[in-house]
Chains A and B, each alone.
Chain A
Amino acid sequence: QVQLQESGPGLVKPSQTLSLTCIVSGGSISSGSFYWSWIRQPAGKGLEWIGHVYTSGSTNYNASLKSRVTISVDTSKNQFSLKLSSVTAADTAVYYCARSYRGYCNSISCPGAFDIWGHGTMVTVSS
């Protein structure tokens, strides 16, 4: 049973870079065809997809965050990471990592549903 666990600082200063890691256990991050995503949720608000890294290492990001986001995978440590630069108070949220399977949308490979989630980690941006 694959499980995900987020880790990283709970407090980040404005203008700095938020860095989180998602450790994958119970299976290899490089086996199968999966997308590994980061999703966030400000307190009392909805979910926002940040981006994902595919098993091959290719990435896609939410256009609204693209200029500040980097998602990468470390197969040797069976984990993937999020870096969000130039943070402000608006980036304060619970950050989740999640897995989605590879599907086929109109005969083209695409991410399917988020079938496994981490428990989430709260990150506060404050001086």
Chain B
Amino acid sequence: QSALTQPPSASGSPGQSVTISCTGTSSDVGGYNYVSWYQQHPGKAPKLMIYEVSKRPSGVPDRFSGSKSGNTASLTVSGLQAEDEADYYCSSYAGSNNNVFGTGTKVTVL
């Protein structure tokens, strides 16, 4: 399966919002509500931020939200803070018990 497509970079000033897209196909993103998002700081393991398109794990700030329309999922970070600067990856169930990750987006807080 091919990697999901994300923009290489996104940026915003503190307090602003940034939205990251994750585009797949009807065989992955569009076919299932099992899209998740991960935050990764340099040298660290990824951290789950959103699961099943729009659900937040306990402890994740409500500034992070997820949505999906057709074959494209999105992660929005509202009220950007310095600590939100990181790489973000989406992931989706891709059928037949397979998973696929996105290409990753580097978020910069200006």
Residues in A lying within 8 Å of B, measured CB to CB: 37, 39, 46-49, 52, 60, 62-63, 96, 100, 103, 105-106, 110-115, 117-120
Contacts and interface: CB of A to CB of B under 8 A. Distances in A.
B63 interface: no
Nearest to B4: A46
A112 B46 CA distance: 15
Contacts, number: 75
B98 A113 contact: no
28 contacts: A39-B101, A46-B3, A46-B102, A46-B103, A47-B89, A47-B91, A48-B101, A49-B101, A60-B97, A62-B1, A62-B98, A96-B45, A103-B52, A103-B93, A105-B34, A105-B95, A110-B93, A111-B93, A112-B34, A113-B52, A113-B91, A114-B38, A114-B91, A115-B51, A117-B46, A117-B47, A118-B45, A120-B45
A106 B34 CA distance: 10
Interface residues on B, range: 20 to 34
Q: Top 6 nearest A-B pairs by Cβ distance?
A: A113-B51, A113-B36, A60-B97, A117-B45, A47-B101, A46-B104
